Amino acid sequence: MDTRLEESGLQPTPLIDVLDRVLQKGVVIHGKLTISVAEVDLLDIDLSLIISSPDRRPLPATDPTILEPFPSAPR
Amino acid sequence: MPSVAAKSACYLYALAPRDAVFDLAGLTGVGGGEITVSAHGDFLFVFEEVAVEEFTQEKLEENLQDLRWVEDKVRTHDRIEHAVSVQTTALPFRFCTILAETDALSTLAREKREEFSASLQRVAGAREWGVKFLRLSKKSSGPKSDDTPRSGTEFLMRKKRSLDEQTLQAQRATEAAVRLARSMRTTAREATTIPLRQRQDRTIVLNTSFLVAREEEGDFRKLVDGMRREAADAGLSLNLTGPWPPYSFTTK
């Protein structure tokens, strides 16, 4: 059951959008309190499994300065 | 699997203010167990006791190669974050944030008190909405393909021209996306971008997230929908997702 879907009336949330947030964002705890698992690079996941027809062209401009229009963007 | 006193670790989902009220009855976590909420210091921690063996570095690396495992666990993690965040202001922890023992929660609450409080204040009463800017597929208007080049040099020149044109189109699409995203920000509390991944669907030119106060959500969605026409004119389609727990607004 996708409660988000029910609430927003939007399409079912694609896995890639969930991965983008759950694996890359959220509070991170560093240091002695956590067990070694937090050190694993979660981005190791082979995303070619998720994207059915990966396009091999070079990525469009990903210049980090693109963030600058947003005053609150992380540095 | 019966085991000799299986050692349990503490899989963290979320953190909420101590006076928050929410109900997670009936939910099952990534380890198949029930979700526990307990108060430490100024906060409520939402966690699950999981078997350490299931989350060792070795085991995790192995599991991450299994897409079915990933999808199941990641969606479960997100479902619990969502269940908390629709009921109260909360901070979501990253996937597989695991403390060696539940006792560490008190230490965590004490050591990170100011940081957690500031982060909770930042996202109070707001949720995250995602907007992806995708390039509409358009056939190239270059030379006809049955027009065979007369030489290798001509072939290479054509190829270069075609690549230049693609690069230019990509630049224009990105500029248009940034312009639209800036306008969307006017009804949001904050905005940020989500890095594009290697091997991601190459039609994506910009992936953005907005932190929107609940009372502004209607206006924000209206604004985004109102921009679809302008986006289409610029060769872009908009993909709206949400509401999300404030994943993208938990760190500076």
Residues facing B46 on adjacent strands: B14, B37
Q: Quick one: which H or E segment has residue B176?
A: helix B152-184
Q: Quick one: which H or E segment has residue B49?
A: strand B43-51
Minimal CA–CA distance to B95: which of B74, B80, B79, B112?
B74
Instruction: Read off the pTM.
Output: 0.81
Q: Between A27 and A6, where is the model more confident?
A: A27
CA dist B87 and B187 (Å) reads 22
The whole-number pLDDT of residue B53 equals 86
The whole-number pLDDT of residue B109 equals 94
Q: Quick one: which H or E segment has residue B154?
A: helix B152-184
pLDDT at B77 over 50: yes
Mean pLDDT value across residues B218-230: 95
Q: Is the dihedral of CA B14, B4, A35, B56 positive or negative?
A: negative
Count chain A–chain B contacts defined by CB atoms under 8 A: 190
Mean pLDDT value across residues B227-245: 94
| DSSP secondary structure string for all residues of A5-60 | HHHH--PPPPHHHHHHHHTT-SB---STTB-GGGGS-GGGS-GGGTSSS---SPPP
pLDDT at B159 over 70: yes
CB contact under 8 A, A35 and B52: yes
**Nearest residue of B to residue A29, measured between CA atoms:** B97
Pairing of strands B91-92, B8-17: antiparallel
pLDDT at A72 over 70: no
The whole-number pLDDT of residue A56 equals 41
pLDDT at B57 over 80: no
Tokens matching residue B64: 């991450």
The whole-number pLDDT of residue B230 equals 94
pLDDT at B1 over 70: no
- List CB contacts of B67: < 8 A, sequence separation 6 or more: A45, A49, A50
CB contact under 8 A, A59 and B198: yes
CB contact under 8 A, B202 and A61: no
Mean pLDDT value across residues B165-194: 89
Q: Quick one: which H or E segment has residue B190?
A: strand B190-193
In the DSSP assignment, the letter for residue B99 is: E
Q: Which of A9-13, B64-68, B205-209 is predicted least confidently?
A: A9-13
Q: What percent of chain B has pLDDT over 90?
A: 62
The whole-number pLDDT of residue B110 equals 94
Which positions in chain A touch B56 (Cβ < 8 Å)? 36-37
The whole-number pLDDT of residue B5 equals 53
Model confidence over B20-54: pLDDT tens digits?
Answer: 999 999 999 999 999 999 999 999 999 999 998 88
Amino acid at the residue B199: R
Q: Which of A71-75, B31-35, B128-132 is predicted least confidently?
A: A71-75
Q: What percent of chain B has pLDDT over 70?
A: 91
Tell me if B194 sits within 8 A of A20, measured CB to CB.
yes
| C-alpha pair distances (Å), A2 with each of A36, B40, B79 | 32, 31, 8
CB contact under 8 A, B57 and A39: yes
Q: Which of A5-9, B50-54, B74-78 is predicted least confidently?
A: A5-9
Model confidence over A15-60: pLDDT tens digits?
Answer: 888 988 988 889 988 777 777 554 555 554 544 444 433 344 444 4
What backbone torsions phi and psi does residue B80 show, to the nearest 5 degrees? Answer: -70, -40
ipTM over 0.90: no
Using left for φ > 0, alpha for ψ between -120 and 50, and beta otherwise, residue B18 falls in: alpha
Angle between helices B104-111 and B113-123 (to 10 degrees): 70
The whole-number pLDDT of residue A54 equals 39
Q: Is the dihedral of CA B10, B40, B83, A46 positive or negative?
A: negative
Tell me if B128 sits within 8 A of B243, measured CB to CB.
yes
